[in-house]
Structure 1
C-alpha cells in the first residue's frame, strides 16, 4: 500500500515511524515532512493546508490511505474532499472536526447531552464578557473559540487577568478570527490527563492514557507551551477510572455527534480533568495529540494500519488492539527562548549517536540546510524511550539527550515527576 501522511512535526514523525512497520505498507509520502521523516518516507514540498493540491497528488500517486496529522486541514474539510473523490482518508469530516475548531460548539454539545465539563458562557462583546467576569470572580479560564495553535487559552487567577484576556481576544484580536468569540469557563481543580481514542463513529476504543507537561520550565513553572514532554501510561488513570471516562464521556460524545449528523471517525483526543466530583472534559481535539502520540504509539503492539482502516470502514468493534505492558517517555528539546522568540537555522549535532542509543529521535522543528540538519521551530526534537517502567524509560531518554546539542538547547529535567513521586 501507498500511504500519505500530512504534517511536519513530531506527531507526524511518530505516525510515519509506526505505519512504516506494517508489512502491508510499501511506500510512505509525507507533506511537507521534515528531515527525520525523510529517512523513512518521501517528503513532498506541498502546502499541508492546500487540500485541492493534496487531493490531486493522492490521485496521481494512487495513494491507498491518507492520514491527517494537524487540525488545520481537518477543520478545512480535507476529509470531505478526499471522500468525494473516492480516496480513503483517516480523520473526521469538517462538521465533525468542529468539536475542536469551535470551543463554543463543543461546550453546547456537552451541555445538550449532559457530558460532564466546566460551567461556561460564550460572548462576542467585550462589555458582556467583562460583566460576567465581575459577577463570577476569579479564577476563570478564558478561551478563544476557534483554532489558535494551542495558544488561545488563558488561565486567569485574578479578575484583572480575565479582563485583560478578553481585551486581548475581542479588542486587540490577538488570535485573529479565532478570538472573535470567547468562551469563559469555571476553573477546575485536579490532575489533567490525555486520552487518545480510536472511533469509527459508533465504537470507541481508548489508547493508553498519557500525561503531558505544558509549562516550559521545571516544576511546572513559566508560560504554557505546546508540550515539553509526555509519558504513558499515566498512573492517575486507573483501569476503573478509564472505564468511567469511556462510559460517561467518550461513548456519549461519539453517540451525540452521530445523532447530530456529524458522525466522528478517526482519532478523538480528550483532555480530561480528574476532579473530586469525577472526570470532566477540558477539551476535545479532532486528531492525535502532540507530544502524546510520541509515547502512545510506541506502546501499541498491534499494526496501526488495520486499526485505521477499521475506523474508516465501521468495523472497529471486531478489531483487536493490543498494547505493550511497558512505559514510554518523550522529552522535548526546545530552542532557547521558546515559547517566545527563538532562533532558527542552528546546526544540530549528535543525532546519529542518540539514535543508536536505543531511544527514538522524533523530529518536530527541523530543516535541512546545506545537507545538515538545523533547528527550524520552537520544539525541535522529541526524545522518546520505552522501558519496563517510567523510571527506566526516563533514564534512557535523558541519556540519549546528552548526545545532542545546538546553541540555546533547552529541555525540562523533571518529565514524569508526577508518576515518579506518586503525586497523582
Structure 2
C-alpha cells in the first residue's frame, strides 16, 4: 500500500510515525513534510494547495490513500479533486469542510439541527457591530468567519475590547478576507474540551478525550495560538457525558451533513465548552487537532491505517480503537515572538538527547540542511511523554524539553495544569 500524508506540522509527523507501524505500507510520502517526516517518509516539496500537481503525483506514485492534515487544502476542495480522479481520501469534501472554513455556515448548520452552541449575531458592517456590542455588553466573543490559523477568535472581557476586535477584523482587515464577515457571540462559561471522532458519513468512532492549551502564556493568558500543548485523557469528560456528546452533538452533525448531500468522511473535531446547562459547540474543525493529535496518536494501539481507509471507503462499521491506558502530555516548543512575528533558521540541538529520556519528539516548523536541523516556523517541535500518572507524564515530558535548545525557544511550563488542579 502507498500512502500520502499532506502537511508539514507536528500532526503530520505523528500520523506518519503511526502509519509506519503498519507492515502493509510499502511507500509513505509526505507533502511537503519537515525534518522529522524526512526520516520515515519521502518528502516532496509541492504546494499543498496545488491539487493539480498533487493529483498527478498520486497517479504517478500509485497512491492508495491520501490523508489530509491541515484545514486549508480541505477548504479549497482537494478531496473533491482527488476523488474525481479515483483517488481515495480520508478527509471531508469542500462542502463538508465549510464546517471549519466558515464559522457562519457552521453556526447556521447547528441551528438547523438543534446542536447546542452559543447565541450569536453576524455582521459585515463595523458600525452595526459596534452598536450591537454596546447594547449587549461584555464579555463577548468576536470571531472572523473564515480561516485564520487558529488566531481569529478574540475573547473580549470588556466592551471596549470587543469593539476594538470588531474594528480590527472588519475595517482594518488584520485577517484579510477571512474577516469580511464576523460573528459576535455569547461568552460561555465552563471548561473547554476537544472531542474528535472518525466518521464514514454514517457511523462514528469517537476518540479518547483531550484538552488543548490555546493561549501563548502560562495560566492561559495572552493571545490565542494554534496550540501550545495538550494532554489526554481529559478527566472532565466521563462516560455519561461522552454519551451525551455523541447523542446531541456528534451524531446529529454527521446525520445532518448526510441529509444535506455532503456525507462527512474523515476526522471531525468538536471544540466544546462544558457549561452548567450541558456541552455546547465553540467550533468545529474538519481534521485532527494540532497538538491534540500528538497527544492522542501515541495512545492508539490499533492500526490507524485500517480505520482511515475505512473513512475513505465510507465504511467503518464494526471497527474499534484499542487505547493505551497511560496518560499523554504534549508540550509545544515555539519560536520567540510566536504567534506574532518570529525568526527562523535557528540551529536546534538536543533532540536525540531528549528522545533518550523516553519521549517522542514530533517535528513541526523544522528543516534539515547539511545533516543539521533548523527552526522553520512558529511552532517548532512537539515533545510528548506517556506515564502511568499525569504527574509522571509531565515530569518525563519536561525532562525531555530541557534537553532541547535553540535561540529564542519558548514553551509553557504549565501544560496539564487544569488536570492537576482538579486533583487538588
Kindly report which structure 2 residues correspond to 1:37-186, keeping only aligned pairs within 5 A, or say none.
37-186=37-186
In 1, the alpha carbon distance for the partners of 2:379 and 2:18 equals 21
- Distance of aligned partners of 1:144 and 1:423 in 2 relative to their CA distance in 1, 3 Å threshold: farther
Which deviations, in whole Å up to 9, do the C-alpha atoms of 1:80-105 show, x marking residues without a partner? 01110000111000000000000000
Q: RMSD between aligned alpha carbons?
A: 1.1
Q: Helix, strand or coil: the match of 1:196?
A: strand
Shift of 1:419: 0.9
- 1:324 is matched with 324
- 2:280 is matched with 280
Number of residue-to-residue matches in the alignment: 424
In 2, the alpha carbon distance for the partners of 1:23 and 1:369 equals 30
Moved over 2 A (4+): none
In 1, the alpha carbon distance for the partners of 2:129 and 2:262 equals 30
- 1:388 is matched with 388
- Distance of aligned partners of 1:226 and 1:423 in 2 relative to their CA distance in 1, 3 Å threshold: farther
* Residue pair 2:205, 2:320 contacting (<8 A) in 1 also: no
TM-score, normalising length from structure 1?
0.98
Shift of 1:313: 2.0
In 2, the alpha carbon distance for the partners of 1:145 and 1:267 equals 21
In 2, the alpha carbon distance for the partners of 1:285 and 1:320 equals 22
- 1:200 is matched with 200
Of residues 366-375 and 272-281 in structure 1, the stretch that sits farther from structure 2 once superposed is 366-375
Q: Helix, strand or coil: the match of 1:11?
A: helix
Which deviations, in whole Å up to 9, do the C-alpha atoms of 1:295-323 show, x marking residues without a partner? 11111110001101111222212112211
* Residue pair 2:92, 2:266 contacting (<8 A) in 1 also: yes
In 2, the alpha carbon distance for the partners of 1:423 and 1:184 equals 35
- 1:358 is matched with 358
Of residues 298-307 and 321-330 in structure 1, the stretch that sits farther from structure 2 once superposed is 321-330
In 1, the alpha carbon distance for the partners of 2:260 and 2:65 equals 27
- 2:264 is matched with 264
Which deviations, in whole Å up to 9, do the C-alpha atoms of 1:103-137 show, x marking residues without a partner? 00000011111110000011111222122112211
In 2, the alpha carbon distance for the partners of 1:103 and 1:78 equals 20
Of residues 311-320 and 25-34 in structure 1, the stretch that sits farther from structure 2 once superposed is 311-320
In 2, the alpha carbon distance for the partners of 1:407 and 1:157 equals 34
Q: Helix, strand or coil: the match of 1:362?
A: strand
In 2, the alpha carbon distance for the partners of 1:60 and 1:47 equals 17
Kindly report which structure 2 residues correspond to 1:306-317, keeping only aligned pairs within 5 A, or say none.
306-317=306-317
In 2, the alpha carbon distance for the partners of 1:123 and 1:219 equals 32
- Distance of aligned partners of 1:423 and 1:160 in 2 relative to their CA distance in 1, 3 Å threshold: farther
* Residue pair 2:302, 2:323 contacting (<8 A) in 1 also: yes
Which deviations, in whole Å up to 9, do the C-alpha atoms of 1:49-70 show, x marking residues without a partner? 1111111100011011110000
- 1:336 is matched with 336
Q: Helix, strand or coil: the match of 2:317?
A: helix
In 2, the alpha carbon distance for the partners of 1:3 and 1:410 equals 34
- 1:254 is matched with 254
- 2:235 is matched with 235
In 2, the alpha carbon distance for the partners of 1:406 and 1:98 equals 38
In 1, the alpha carbon distance for the partners of 2:321 and 2:314 equals 15
In 2, the alpha carbon distance for the partners of 1:314 and 1:36 equals 31
- 1:217 is matched with 217
In 2, the alpha carbon distance for the partners of 1:127 and 1:163 equals 10
Of residues 267-276 and 395-404 in structure 1, the stretch that sits farther from structure 2 once superposed is 395-404
* Residue pair 2:88, 2:313 contacting (<8 A) in 1 also: no
Which deviations, in whole Å up to 9, do the C-alpha atoms of 1:169-211 show, x marking residues without a partner? 1111111111001011100000000011101111111101100
Which deviations, in whole Å up to 9, do the C-alpha atoms of 1:266-288 show, x marking residues without a partner? 00011000000100000000111
Shift of 1:31: 0.4
Shift of 1:423: 6.5
Of residues 197-206 and 309-318 in structure 1, the stretch that sits farther from structure 2 once superposed is 309-318
Any unmatched runs of 5+ in structure 1?
none
Q: Helix, strand or coil: the match of 1:5?
A: strand
In 2, the alpha carbon distance for the partners of 1:137 and 1:410 equals 36
Any unmatched runs of 5+ in structure 2?
none
In 2, the alpha carbon distance for the partners of 1:164 and 1:416 equals 32
Which deviations, in whole Å up to 9, do the C-alpha atoms of 1:373-416 show, x marking residues without a partner? 01111111000111112111111111111111011111111111
Of residues 124-133 and 258-267 in structure 1, the stretch that sits farther from structure 2 once superposed is 124-133
- Distance of aligned partners of 1:421 and 1:340 in 2 relative to their CA distance in 1, 3 Å threshold: same
- 1:190 is matched with 190
- The answer to whether 1:400 aligns with 2:410 is no
- 1:290 is matched with 290
